[in-house]
Structure 1
Amino acid sequence: MKVAFLGLGVMGYPMAGHLKRAGHDVTVFNRSAAKAEKWVATHGGAAAPTPRAAAAGAEIVFACVGNDDDLRSVVYGDAGALAGMSGGAILVDHTTASAEVAREIEAGARQAGVGFLDAPVSGGQAGAENGKLTVMVGGEPAVFERAKPVIDCYARACVLMGPAGSGQLAKMVNQICIAGLVQALAEGMHFAQKAGLDGARLLEVISKGAAQSWQMENRGLTMLEGKFDFGFAVDWMRKDLGICLAEAKRNGAQLPVTALVDQFYARIQRRGGGRWDTSSLMQPLSEP
């Protein structure tokens, strides 16, 4: 297919690369033109100066940007993607954003005769680079079926959760679960250190039992070593948890642990750790 990809951050850059390697005709846009030119030099394809130019003639336009406002900036306006898309094309948004903006853009896309899917991803930078992301999707079933074979270029799981906004709601659940789990893991590793246990040996045994998790397998040792200068940034997690807490106010959900962990992350930001990995919840425990 002829496709466009808007946003070449740590996730979008490799995701767009998987599309090109799968044989699709890819045009990219990035706010920093140098990043787009670097992508083209590495993968081929083409770079466009605006989202509208990238989207012109594309059967599917993918976006993966920072937040609601970033998404609106690449979708709307004379230079936005919708202005360049033809009727029958599909806009797929991989940004972790609000369900509210997903429903808003779905309505605008429908008016333009364009299909829309909100499709946030989980799996981090490694998942994007290895083509093993989990994609949670909201939208119409017929639109999903058309886009899924292309999304599968970088997904190990791609599931339609319901109508527009459902993908974002599913991603909120994902982040809520991660927040509580990482805090529990941090407390466990902190307790192990205070108790004088061999942390590596401890992880080896408990990761084979009911406590096992992706976070334990991939972050347990680095927590014990105090290494946080990598991975999914605290700044981004706080953005995501803010979305979760705002949605909870609307739907009446009670998220006491999520709200508490969000404040722990705020403490890390105040210590200058905004770009540290989310596993840095260990740091305030080790260094109160």
Structure 2
Amino acid sequence: MTARPLLFISIGSAYERHRLARGLCTGIHRQFLFQRSHRHGTDRRRRLASSEHSRSLADLLRQLGQHALLRRQGSRARKRREVLLRDLRLSCRSTGRRARRARQGPARSRRLARLGGQHTRGSPRRPSRVATRRPVGGPPADPHARIAEGPARDRARRGESESDDQRSSGLAQRPRRGRTQGQAIMSMAVAVLGLGAMGSRMAARLLAAGHPVTVWNRSPDKAQPLVAQGARVAPTPAAAARDADVVIAMVRDDAASNSVWVDPHDGALIAMKPGAIAIESSTLSPDYVATLARLAEHAGVKLLDAPVSGSRAAADGGQLVFLVGGDAEVFEHASPVLKAMGSAVHHVGPIGHGMLAKLATNALLGIHVTAFAEIVGLLQRHGASAAKVLQAVSATPVWAPVDAYLSGTMLSRDFRPQFPIELIAKDFGYVLDAADGAEHAPTAAAALQVFKRAVEHGLGDLNMTGVVKLYGSN
């Protein structure tokens, strides 16, 4: 028997892998019977479907283990391949048993009829399938019941059990976000503190995902568009955070964050319920985040630093990238909320590491911006067509994905604020503080001087690419 090319897909639970393997072996069994009956006649089916059937399936499994499509996955997929082949072996054995029972069925029924329907063997008979069916008029069986029990069955095979901490916290049994209205959808009460360009868009995405949202902003009039979408407005950060499961802050800098979280009268930390999650999504200094983490722990609150990377358009479309630092279990619990606002959520390490990842991202971006501004100015001073030269450069390996956006906005003179110059200058100040001075980060220090000079020339409200105005014609 010749093995046909097969491509296996990794399936999550052991139950689903077993179903795939059982279906495959059933098809192989039927194909084998057809071939042998065609070759030797139908009267020999029962005799051939015993020993030769088992030997042929064993040969097939060896061929599958050597198949090129399986080898192509490499050593990293070895464990997954071994699990699948194990399931195939188990299913092939069960297929052979079902075939033998099918052959013995008519004779067995006649023997039982002669004995008055009594079971002559010592072991108790398995209940019939008819006895296990739901009664007429009873509730329909859950089609997902056996699939849902797969993880629990896998834990039992490994000798593991659900911990008491998981049961008490509810993290292990939280509902999943469904694709249809008939499925369970996790809904967590969320408070959003700060409704600037990013905070307001993040709150809108949370409302669209079905979360109850309470908002606060220093200027209450900015909350009115969100109120029209179903948000509730609170007069203080403490009032917004009081009944929330998750509190998200998106403010300008360390001072604004300190006022929102730890103000002795209206700060959110003093009002949050024990076990609630505080998420700081502003771009701040790592030293301040470490201090905030200690204060949150003292208040019985779990803190994540989760700054975002992305423009206002990305926030509108739920395409932000979250760089998260903090406890892994808290991260998993907060992930559904973060995924309602972003297309990628990365856990990068303990508390404070999310902020380091964000500062590294902004440092690379800012250095790209200042370098492009100087290059465009250089080309224009020499009378070259910057568009043609940069188009040629884009075909070389040095061209980065963000370079098309940077060069396009500079050449089109489109400086509408997506990431204003004054904000990226603030972030570069945090980069130098984290680096312990300009001597340890001279390139970042030089880029900071470019952004500071742009602010001094009155360009602080423009998009970061507006620094090109320092080097070329206005």
- Normalised to the residue count of structure 1, the TM-score between the two structures is 0.94
Residues 1:141 and 1:253: Cα distance change in structure 2 (over 3 Å): farther
Listed as ranges, the gaps of 5+ residues in structure 2 are 1-187
- Per-residue CA deviation, residues 109-129 of structure 1 (Å, 9 max, x unaligned), is 111111100111111212211
The equivalent residue for 2:458 is 272
Seen in structure 2, the aligned counterparts of structure 1 residues 253 and 92 have a Cα distance that, compared at 3 Å, is farther
Q: Could you list the per-position Cα deviations for residues 259-283 of structure 1 after superposition, in whole angstroms to 9, with x for gaps in the alignment?
A: 1111111111111111111112211
Larger-gyration structure (1/2): 2
Q: Which residue of 1 aligns with 2:316?
A: 129
Q: Separation in 2 of the partners of 1:137 and 1:201?
A: 40
Q: Deviations over 1:225-263 (max 9, x none)?
A: 43324221111011100011111117x972111111111
Q: Corresponding residue for 2:442?
A: 256
Structure 1 Cα separation of the partners of residues 395 and 331 of structure 2: 37
Runs of 5+ consecutive residues of structure 1 not aligned to the other structure: none
Letter in 2 for 1:95: S
Deviation (angstroms), 1:157? 1.5
Describe the superposition over 1:21-44 as per-residue Cα deviations: whole angstroms up to 9, x where unpaired.
Answer: 000000100110111123212x21
Q: 1:38 aligns with which of 205, 225, 249?
A: 225
Equivalent of 2:365 in 175, 178, 183: 178
Following superposition, the deviation at residue 48 of structure 1 comes to 0.5
1:103 shift after superposition: 1.2
What letter is aligned with 1:224? L
8 Å contact 1:182–1:215 — kept in the other structure?
no
Match of 1:61 among 247, 250, 257: 247
2:425 corresponds in structure 1 to 238
**TM-score, length of structure 2 as denominator length:** 0.58
- How many matched pairs? 286
Match of 1:284 in 2: 470
Which whole-Å CA distance do the structure 1 matches of 2:454 and 2:223 have between them? 32
Whether the 8 Å contact between 1:187 and 1:282 is mirrored in structure 2 is yes
Structure 1 equivalent of residue 272 of structure 2 = 85
Structure 1 range deviating more: 253-262 or 7-16: 253-262
Alignment of 1:125-204 (within 5 A): 125-204=312-391
Question: Bigger shift: 212-221 or 258-267?
Answer: 212-221
Contact 2:380/2:472, CA 8 A, preserved across alignment = no
Relative contact order higher in (CA < 8 Å, ≥ 6 apart): 1
Percent identity, please.
37
Which residue matches 2:414? 227
Preserved contact between residue 290 and residue 352 of structure 2 (Cα < 8 Å): yes
In the alignment, the residues of structure 1 paired with residue 322 and residue 343 of structure 2 have an alpha-carbon distance, to the nearest angstrom, of 8
CA distance in 2, matches of 1:107, 1:231: 33
Query: Residues 83-113 of structure 1, C-alpha deviation per residue, up to 9 Å, x if partnerless?
Result: 2210110000100001111111111111111
Aligned residue identity for 1:174:
T
Runs in 1 of length 4+ with deviation above 6 angstroms? none
Q: Is the 8 A contact 2:319 2:341 kept in 1?
A: yes
Contact map agreement 1:203 1:216 (CA 8 A) in 2? no
Does the CA-based 8 Å contact 2:381-2:472 persist in structure 1? Answer: no
Task: Provide the aligned C-alpha RMSD in A.
Answer: 1.8
Q: Which residue of 1 aligns with 2:210?
A: 23
Is residue 50 from structure 1 mapped to residue 236 from structure 2 by the alignment? yes
